[in-house]
Structure 1
Amino acid sequence: MTDSSQMPSGVADAAAPTGPSATRPFPARAWPDVAIISVLSLLGVLGYETSFGDGNFLIAGVGGLVVGTAFGVLGYVLRLGVVTNVLAALLGYFLFGSALTMPAQSLFGVVPSLETLAGLALGAVWGWADIVTLQTPVEAPYYIPVVPYFATWLVALVGTMLASRWLTIRRTPLRASVLLIGPALLFLSGILLGTDETYFAGVRGVAFAAIALIWLGWRRQAAPAASDEGATRLRRRKLAGTGMLVTGAVLVGALAGTALAPTQPDRFVLREEITPPFDPLAFPSPLAGFRAYTKDLADTPLFTATGLEPGDVIRLASMDSYDGRLWNVAGPDDMVSSDGGFELVGETLPLPELMRAGAERSAEIEIAGYDDVWLPGVGYPTRLTFDDATSVDSAGDLRYNPASGTAVLTSGVDEAYRYSIDATLQKGIDDDDLVDTPAAMIDLAPVENTPDVVVAKAQEFAGDAETPIEQLRAIETALKTQGFLSHGLASDAVPSRAGHGADRMIELFTRSQMIGDEEQYASAMALMARYLGYPARVVMGFAPQIGEDAESVEVVGDDVTAWVEVAFEDVGWVAFHPTPDETDIPQDQTPKPKSEPQPQVRQPPRSDNEDEDLLTAVEIDDSDDEKKNQPFVIPLWAWITAGVVGIPLLLFFGTMLVIAAIKARRRSRRRNRGSGDRRVAGAWDELTDEFAELGFDVPRVGSRRQTATVIERQLREQGLGDARGAHTDTGPVRVIRADAPASGIRVMPLADATDRAVFSGEEVEQSVVDESWNAASEAVGLARAASGRLRRLFSRFRIRSKRDWAQVDISGAKPAKPAKPAKPAKPAKPAKPAKPAKPAEPGGGEAAAPAAG
């Protein structure tokens, strides 16, 4: 006989008798495997530190490990099938994920809300794409901590299920290596989704390799012929030898790598290879709507700014691309190395590389009539926080370009949005300090179709100036002193056409007088500076009049302005304001064209109907009809309640209905397909499957009588034998035949009847099929009625499959060694008979036989 301690742990666990709760202990040999998976996963998730920069990701990652491992263990203990275990783990993922990843959006910080449930789903699907386009440290969108939570939850769940259900059956180095795939992928994701900076990469990599190799060497099975003491000594030597080998390899590799391997200047990360998906060209150029502020919104309050000081300006957008029609924010196709593009950001915003920090501001902006996508800001923001609930919902749509200091809210800015900004201003530099300072050598988006007249004027205005600051100031002075300001209003003495395309630039310099506003003058100077080879851009914003003691200022459309910024080496972006202040345009310089007499043409008769002048339009008040036709709006609390209560119920009952449909289809196919003997055998298969789903250990190997013996024995051991006349959870069931023994539930008669029908060789009547199915239904119904409610509930979530059948000792005794095969006979001598198998130990039952049918 083979000692039960040498049996695979999965078989030994299945052979143990179960109690009324139908649970089983978690395999002891699997606990170290689960611990190793958790430690390696923790080393992998630490790589996310370079992306997140705080401890929130670690809380989410450790929480995912705990939830995934707990549900993997719980599924094994409760004997849940693989599919049912995964569904239960999904329920735990949504139940505990809110508190671990999004406590601010959860109800009372713990209870899931509709927003957190949606975030857990979105983060698992889209968070991987978002994180590589986010500006580090990653703080938005709100569901981004779901990425480490979902990763560790998935690795822990799959690893725990494999360690308990698969590795315990047959332990080989190859099978053990499969468990390392999840932690290895998690470690790799921490590198690819991180930044070019490392977080203890060497320490984590060496620790990961050492732990994995030592575990693989320790978990190899000992030789079958070795005794317990010998196996222990062999395992100890193997562990020590593997540890010494790994330690030596690590030391040699670290020393040799430091001495011989070249230093890698760059580190491959996905965020450096992927272009941010946001395209600013999808929105109109901010400068194209300049005249709308001065004409239509001149007196309209746009927003209120608090915390500004006299002389401060509010930035809206920086434009460095020109195509002959518009100045615009550079799109993804025009981005260069000096422009990182627009990225998803959280509250913390990075400062541009090219700037000299000056004063700091803490401002608060409350939107009124402003409704564009470009977000008003002050200087270069370092932190931006949405303060009200309405704007917080749109925080995930915020993109920011640190090189230009431009923020955009892709969903648009609505009325009553309120946000706070902590910003750093560019330090002011005197021209005397810039005389010897060259222009910065940076690449900007291209400027195309510059008119020839602009080039000629750039050379004329620059004159004999030599240094960059002298040439730029000369151009600025010429535009301010030789031009006139006009917004093209009806009150202006001379009309001024809007726009800043090539045709408008030609008109600006070919008329007898330069006439325009900030839109034209800023565009002209930026084109001149770019022609001279200087990195220039046009900035649009607002310049309100701020009093000395004013706490806040109301910004209106008439406060709009535009200026030019040029980058200087080690200084930053210096502002130039080329728009003139003079508005009195000389009338004699813009004579009206003389009118030429035209030949007289007879006009057609008037066709207007005078009766129409007598009609008066009557306004009809249809506000009541609009209210009647307004659709019913479901309140927010109803959506939240439906999400918190409905989603768990949908997962629970939806899973139950799907499994019930699968079982009904299985039962229908067995009862209605095939010949009579096959349908009788189907009744027996249905009985064994339903007993297994109730938590009974139904053997995979053995005849039907042996299987019936095992089932009846478990009924007696669990105290479920006397169930005659009981009521099931779906109604009363019929009492077993009067000649049934006192044990109540008998499956042996059905086993005998099934064998007779299968092996008789005669055609089986329909009445025999119906009797077999009725007997199977009676036995299962009585067993279900005698079981507890919790046990019946778990059975509804189990689907028995041949892959999940437990291998148990159907005789109740230790398994016998298989008989040795007969030795082959020599050619000249008759073959010797095979040696009989050794008899079973005392107390044993029948020997196992192949499954019949």
Structure 2
Amino acid sequence: MAAIDFTGARAAALDDDFFFNATTGTAADLHDLRAGDSYDLTGVLPEQPTTSQLGRATPGSAQVPRIGLMPDELVVHLDQYVQGKTTAGSRLLAAIDGLRREGYISHGLAGDEPPSRSGHAADRISELFTDPQMIGDAEQYAVAGALMARQLGFPARVVFGFAPQNQDGGTVTLTGADVTAWIEIDTAQYGWVALDPVPPVRPIPQQKPQDPDKVARPESIVPPPPDKVDQEQGQTTPDTSTDTPDGPSAALLLLLQVLRIGGWALAIVAVLLAPFALVVVAKVRRRRARRTARTPLERIRGGWDEFADAVVDHGYDPPPASTRSEVAGVVGVLPAGVLAAVADRAVFAPDESDEREADRVWDAVAELRASLDDGLTRRRRLWALVSVRSFARYHVRDLLRPGGARREEAR
């Protein structure tokens, strides 16, 4: 996107609340479009590489959120798709071709046979690969394609938008039927490249019903009735001697000894871990107090303090009395700078902040905290979790203040 110009009665408000992320190439306006609003968008369509060029492409360096869960069934199919492929680009193309070759389209609407369940969570994606036939729509195939690309090392994201059928120029009317999804992958040679993992619409073959073979059971042979036995024969005289109770067995004594030693060991471990647990509890209480502060401004201020504390606990050393921009510069990632600018604007702007802006700040803080753990070993992450360096940033009177926030100074 090169430029955007809003027109209409609300042009100034729409322009003020328009934001563009140069890193991800996405734009958003906090004001909803209404009747009478219009805008002129000037953009440059990126050059799409050919299939041959894409087969030689290598993964780019764009930062994307981490994957919470990778379905095992997807990984199994991916390994089958990329067999015999050696380069990263050829493996990616083979994965997309595999989805388009094996998949069938069904939107799950009334009359669609066979039916297709909506959703794109891990269980739905697993179901896509475990059902007898791979059936879904763009919602499932775009997510599956992005996960496969991520598994192959390519940064990938799902794109949700309009793909009008009539693209021969002139006026185009967009409806709900034009909504679809595809993926974009980041390459070192061509930047973000669009790929369509959605299979073409074609008839779904009817699946043959599974009719298990009937197993014939052998005839039950009824044994003859036993001969009658005289009840008086075979009876033994009851033993009237008193049974002496046995003492505890050796196995039981050994079990009790193991439990006794284990209990003492657990008690010692609990005593050793108690200080670390207190640090974690203190950080949780501090975070909760900041996030539930009385006013949106206090919540935004607390959100920045939460991120700055995480920076210190992860081993960064901002200069003494550093500004928000300086702290963000120490981290060295663009989202940190954006968060610093948003916090400064909220603190020093004459207008009052609103609840939505505070929620967005905390969402950004959560993502930045997670990004600080990227590339760290498990030991380094645990060390940052129990680090007390961030508590040294505050005076005693600041720690006693609700939310543990520092008094704001002119920066």
TM-score, with normalisation over the residues of structure 2? 0.49
Q: TM-score, normalised by structure 1?
A: 0.24
Flag the structure with larger Rg.
1
Higher RCO structure, 1 or 2 (CA under 8 Å, sep 6+): 1
